[in-house]
Amino acid sequence: MGDQWMIPRTIRIAPGDLAKIPLHPNWRFEAQTDGLTALLLPRPRFGHALLSLNRWRCPGPVKEVDFRPWEASDPKALVPLFTEAFSSLEPIAGLGMEERRAAAEEALADAWKGAEGPVSGASAVAIDPTGKALGAVMVTLLPGGNLDGPGAWRWYEPAPVDLEAMGGGLPHLTWIFVDPDIQHSGLGASLLSHTVAALRPMGYSQLASTFLTGNHASALWHWRMGFELMSWPGSPRWR
């Protein structure tokens, strides 16, 4: 999701109280000259994680559901589910209803069109017996290669045609989201299990993921599912 959806905000707060606000990895505060307000400025930071597919075992029970492939109508049809799933998390949480819909539609449409790399056949939508969408996972293919370098995580030129058929690229868990009414029921684990089962026969041995630092729920979910935290590609250790 684009950084433009993390919008600066002005809050009313006394200068003496500003120093008492806990630090957050994605925001910084600047006191204003009026002495009554502070500017809340976004500084989004992301972490990368990697899952070994060959030795992965689901760490807990999963919710039994059916799956179907993504369809051309899903980037728009799944917008309400997407916004509900992320309603308490930045940047969706800080937006009005119209902005939430616009941000969600942009995120899903861009990924579907290949902005994050070719969409993998391991992507799926979880449905109930009536066909209602309960959650979804979208996997895209990154360049891969040296994962400690920024070139592994973004396409700077068009991806090769039939990349997945050749077993190329690095599968990336670009989006995974669940209806908030059934969160903590094992559906996220079920979606990941479906993804791993689809990627293994294609010859892939790793699944990458990216999360916003400060999103503790996402970080803990990745940890519980067996992902290993990777070094930050911009770290001076690698230069």
**Above 60 in pLDDT, residue 40?**
yes
Q: How high is the pLDDT of residue 74?
A: 97
Q: Same structural domain for residues 115 and 207?
A: yes
Q: Same structural domain for residues 182 and 225?
A: yes
Q: Same structural domain for residues 222 and 118?
A: yes
| CA 8 to centroid of chain Cα atoms | 22
Q: Same structural domain for residues 142 and 153?
A: yes
Round the average pLDDT of the chain to a whole number and report it.
Answer: 87
Question: Which CATH number covers residue 67?
Answer: 3.40.630.30
Q: Same structural domain for residues 70 and 149?
A: yes
**Above 70 in pLDDT, residue 235?**
no
Q: How high is the pLDDT of residue 238?
A: 52
Domain that holds residue 162: 45-238
**Above 60 in pLDDT, residue 1?**
no
| Angle ∠(188,108,229) on CA atoms, nearest 5 | 50
Q: Same structural domain for residues 142 and 74?
A: yes
Report which of residues 104 and 24 the model is more confident about. 104
Percent residues over pLDDT 90 in the chain:
53
Q: How many residues does the chain have?
A: 239
* Domain count for the chain: 2
Q: How high is the pLDDT of residue 239?
A: 52
Q: Same structural domain for residues 70 and 107?
A: yes
Residue 136: CB atoms within 10 Å: 25
Q: Same structural domain for residues 213 and 145?
A: yes
Q: Same structural domain for residues 203 and 179?
A: yes
**Each residue of 65-119: pLDDT tens digit?**
999 999 999 999 999 999 999 888 777 777 788 888 988 999 999 999 999 999 9
**Each residue of 167-176: pLDDT tens digit?**
999 999 999 9
Q: Same structural domain for residues 77 and 128?
A: yes
> Residue 205 — very low, low, confident or very high, per pLDDT cuts 50/70/90?
very high
Q: Same structural domain for residues 51 and 106?
A: yes
Strands (E) in 72-231, as ranges, are: 124-127, 133-142, 170-178, 206-212, 228-229
Q: How high is the pLDDT of residue 107?
A: 92
> Residue 183 — very low, low, confident or very high, per pLDDT cuts 50/70/90?
confident
Average confidence (pLDDT) over 144-157:
82
**Above 70 in pLDDT, residue 38?**
yes
Q: What sign results for the dihedral spanned by CA atoms 46, 62, 107, 170?
A: positive
Q: Same structural domain for residues 139 and 37?
A: no
